[in-house]
Homo-oligomer: A and B are copies of this chain.
């Protein structure tokens, strides 16, 4: 299947030897015309230099490019790091002839190391010379941003006449890169920066913010949304349809990230419903998703409802036990505050036989819901993360 590439974007990936490896590790996305741009960023207090720079430049109306490198996070690098991130966007601007603040930057990789600018700056110039519009150039970019990902993550939707195309990296719930997640959504729709920012924030809340492997927020997490369409701004029902398309793309990327978690034997989808607000539902789902006891039980094929119910109980959301019902896959294990005490063998078999498993928790406090993704905790995960990496 040929990917639909939105109009007016060109792509390039080059090997800049950001680390001591042979692979494309520098990627460039350029919009031929000025694009409205939105961004959401890590909530960590320790914020990488590229996040500091990019955060100050969105939302905006005239963005022309995003430069991304893998291999070095440019985090915990102080003033020199900020100068390097600025120099990267400055070099992009110089080569494509735009204002410096029309370029955005994202980095992922080892933290605490100086960027090899003597190779990155020439790499940017080379990339600009190789920009191309087709699927091959796009695909090369989706690979160049990978770190410990085993595969690129891509999703798309059509909405009206516009294409929404997203790609992401993240899997790397291990290693010194601290699980950095980068996401990029490109569209040729015409949307105002303010609408774009609101749409992205909501979509990220319902997708990337619903994936957790160990709850360790990175210093570099970044998602950009660019819209370079010209003509009449989307509004009304068309804007709603566009927002839904963006949300679906983000959601699909988030699922692919959860699915590619290293060292995992299961992907777990946690569906929480019947709360007063979406944020309450997310809080409960997140607490379950981040419980080492729940995750180890899934690895062991143990349908341990007690761990799930009690993880919900310490999420900080008020509820009564009598309001909670729990299914593991199709198996009802806990109903309105009491274990149903069936033979545990079928639910155990369900966990052992499926790589993708579902928990469903139903409360009776409202209509809000959330689906959250995580992976199980395996001895392999610990071994991968215990490797001496610095």
**Interface of A toward B, CB cutoff 8 Å:** 43-47, 75-78, 110-112, 174, 176, 178-179, 214-219, 290-293, 296-297, 299-307, 309-315, 317-321, 334, 337-339, 341, 344, 348, 377-379, 381-383, 385-390
Contact = CB atoms under 8 A, between A and B. Distances in A.
B382 A378 contact: yes
B46 A312 contact: yes
Taken together, the copies of this chain in the complex come to: 2
B334 A304 contact: no
B304 A46 contact: no
B76 A45 contact: no
Given A45-B317, A389-B304, A382 B216 contact: no
A300 B386 contact: yes
A337 B78 CA distance: 7
A296 B382 contact: yes
A306 B178 contact: yes
A313 B217 contact: yes
Contacts of A306: 75-76, 110-112, 176, 178, 390
B297 A385 contact: yes
Given A76-B306, A302-B390, A306-B176, A313 B382 contact: no
B112 A339 contact: yes
Given A174-B293, A292-B377, 20 more contacts: A45-B318, A46-B309, A46-B312, A75-B306, A75-B310, A76-B338, A76-B339, A216-B310, A217-B310, A293-B385, A296-B385, A299-B382, A301-B388, A302-B388, A303-B390, A348-B388, A379-B379, A379-B383, A381-B382, A382-B382
Closest 7 pairs (CB-CB, A-B): A300-B386, A46-B313, A296-B385, A379-B379, A217-B314, A214-B292, A112-B339
Nearest to A383: B379
A314 B344 CA distance: 38
Contacts of A311: 216
A293 to B, nearest CB: 5
16 contacts: A44-B313, A44-B314, A45-B320, A47-B313, A76-B321, A176-B304, A176-B307, A178-B306, A178-B307, A215-B290, A216-B310, A219-B313, A296-B386, A299-B382, A300-B386, A379-B379
Given A216-B307, A216-B311, A319 B45 contact: yes
Q: With a 10 A CB-CB cut-off, give which of A174, A309, A315, A390 has the most chain B CB atoms.
A: A390
Given A43-B314, A45-B317, A306-B178, A299 B386 contact: yes
A300 B216 contact: no
Contact of A293 (B110, B216, B304, B338): B216
